[in-house]
Chain A
Amino acid sequence: MYGYEIPYIPKWIEPWEYLNSKKTKKHPFHLISPHPRHRTHSIYNNCSWLRETYEQEVTINAADAKKLGIKTGDTVEVWNDRGKCVVPAYVTQRCMPSVAVLHEGAWIDLDENGIDRAGNPDMLTLDEPSPAGAFAYNTVLCSIRKTKLKHRPGWDKLATARSHVFRRDL
């Protein structure tokens, strides 16, 4: 939408993808990608301490997860017409229904089919800037399902001793 005229008074412009659009029939989840607290965008993703402290994961609402049969820790694939990535799921009550949260900035790790195993939301975004020229990171519709594809967290989970066991206990 870059280059379109920006209205002189603030008013609603229909985004190309949002939860009220007809595209939700195909891809029902609205994906937002906030800044992770363990990285600065993609910087420090190679720091092993931070990688074992926090995980790249997609946060979904408990009601949605129940419908899809997903539990915390299950590997899921998040996809739309533009791409696909594989991440573990984190199921919580704190997320709005039909919204998925996937933090930006994971380092892309493509497999032979062009699927991102690291879980970077860049795979799902539309490469078109907003009217003001910003990158529209939060205007994405996607689908989620359980998968047998492998997620590559980027560090050896077996070496993480018992620290990972203590991470979350629901």
Chain B
Amino acid sequence: MSETKGKAKIKDTARIREAVKRHKRETYTPVKPDLQLGFVHNNVDCIGCRACEIACKDKNGLAAGPRFRRVQYVEGGTYPNVYAYKVNMSCNHCSEPGCLPACPTGAIFKRKKDGIVDIDSTLCIGCRRCEAACPFGAPQFDPYDSIVKKCNMCVDEIEAGRKPYCVMACMMRVLDIGPVEKIWNGELQTVAIGPNDVVSRQVQNMANIELTNPSIGFVAHSKGKVK
């Protein structure tokens, strides 16, 4: 037994990878939206005032606890070579959301029209499986309503032709939304991206984008770039 154990282990990892791929192919086909909206955030110019977090909590009527938008403070280096930047994230409305197949009741859906991932609160049973499945911590349990809630990019505002509350609250104008393809190739007309800035999909202090293919772009800090 012990001799075959090592070999069997290697075989198993390959087979498990295969099985996971098959499982994904057979059980879950991501919705291909006509237009995928996404956020863009300038990590360098963000001052970390957290007005976006509070505007979001105000709009969604959240008590202390769940927080859809989170500003992550990153600082490092030793004096005199110190640096600090912010990574700001809510739900990334991923192309292959991890939360969606994890939902046992089918409460989570991705809109065909603009690629927004949302939860139907009437179907959610509060099992919190999506919370564990999301690598970015977007779905959060509301202990007062006993259901999971998440950022829906303020769909009502989008339908009305306006921008989400977090974007409107940003005093430095470092947060914006737009079609995600345009964000990534720098075509989007926004003050969040400066004239010489390069938009990157992955920055440090962020989960691997290969997991869920998130629809978000960052103007990365020089120390926060991923090679």
A contacts, CB < 8 Å to B: 48-49, 51-53, 62, 92-94, 155-156, 159-163, 165-170
Q: Are A49 and B57 also in contact (CB < 8 A) when A93-B79, A167-B72 are?
A: yes
Which of B61-69, B114-122, B158-166 binds A?
Answer: B61-69
Q: Are A161 and B79 also in contact (CB < 8 A) when A53-B54, A166-B137 are?
A: no
Chain A, residue nearest B81 (CB)? A93
Q: Say if the beta carbon of B75 comes within 8 Å of chain A.
A: yes
Minimum CB–CB distance for B186 against chain A, Å:
27
In the docked arrangement, what's the CA distance between A67 and B47, Å?
31
Residues of A contacting B194 in the complex (Cβ-Cβ under 8 angstroms): none
Contact B72 A94 (CB under 8 A): no
Contact B64 A170 (CB under 8 A): no
Residues of A contacting B75 in the complex (Cβ-Cβ under 8 angstroms): 92-94, 168, 170
Instruction: From the candidates A49, A93, A166, name the one contacting B64 in the complex (CB within 8 A).
Output: A49
Contact A163 B50 (CB under 8 A): no
Q: Number of B interface residues, CB 8 Å?
A: 27
Residues of B contacting A93 in the complex (Cβ-Cβ under 8 angstroms): 75, 77-79, 82
In the docked arrangement, what's the CA distance between A62 and B82, Å?
12
Contact A48 B76 (CB under 8 A): no
In the docked arrangement, what's the CA distance between A168 and B54, Å?
17
Q: Say if the beta carbon of B53 comes within 8 Å of chain A.
A: yes
Contact A48 B140 (CB under 8 A): no
Instruction: From the candidates B65, B72, B77, B79, name the one contacting A166 in the complex (CB within 8 A).
Output: B72
In the docked arrangement, what's the CA distance between A93 and B65, Å?
30
Residues of A contacting B65 in the complex (Cβ-Cβ under 8 angstroms): 52, 159-161, 163
Contact A159 B143 (CB under 8 A): yes
Q: Say if the beta carbon of B201 comes within 8 Å of chain A.
A: no
Known: A161-B140, A162-B131, A166-B89. 9 other contacts (CB 8 A): A48-B63, A93-B82, A94-B82, A163-B65, A163-B67, A166-B72, A168-B73, A170-B74, A170-B75
Residues of A contacting B64 in the complex (Cβ-Cβ under 8 angstroms): 48-49, 51-52, 155-156, 159-160
Contact A161 B54 (CB under 8 A): no
Minimum CB–CB distance for A161 against chain B, Å:
5
Instruction: From the candidates A49, A159, A167, A170, name the one contacting B54 in the complex (CB within 8 A).
Output: A49
In the docked arrangement, what's the CA distance between A167 and B78, Å?
21
Contact A161 B53 (CB under 8 A): no
In the docked arrangement, what's the CA distance between A60 and B50, Å?
23
Q: Say if the beta carbon of B111 comes within 8 Å of chain A.
A: no
Instruction: From the candidates B50, B53, B74, B78, name the one contacting A169 in the complex (CB within 8 A).
Output: B74
In the docked arrangement, what's the CA distance between A53 and B72, Å?
11
Q: Say if the beta carbon of B205 comes within 8 Å of chain A.
A: yes
Q: Are A165 and B79 also in contact (CB < 8 A) when A53-B50, A53-B53 are?
A: no
Q: Say if the beta carbon of B129 comes within 8 Å of chain A.
A: no
Residues of B contacting A160 in the complex (Cβ-Cβ under 8 angstroms): 64-65, 67
Chain B, residue nearest A96 (CB)? B79
Minimum CB–CB distance for A62 against chain B, Å:
7
Residues of A contacting B79 in the complex (Cβ-Cβ under 8 angstroms): 93
Residues of A contacting B173 in the complex (Cβ-Cβ under 8 angstroms): none
Chain A, residue nearest B63 (CB)? A48
Residues of A contacting B141 in the complex (Cβ-Cβ under 8 angstroms): 161
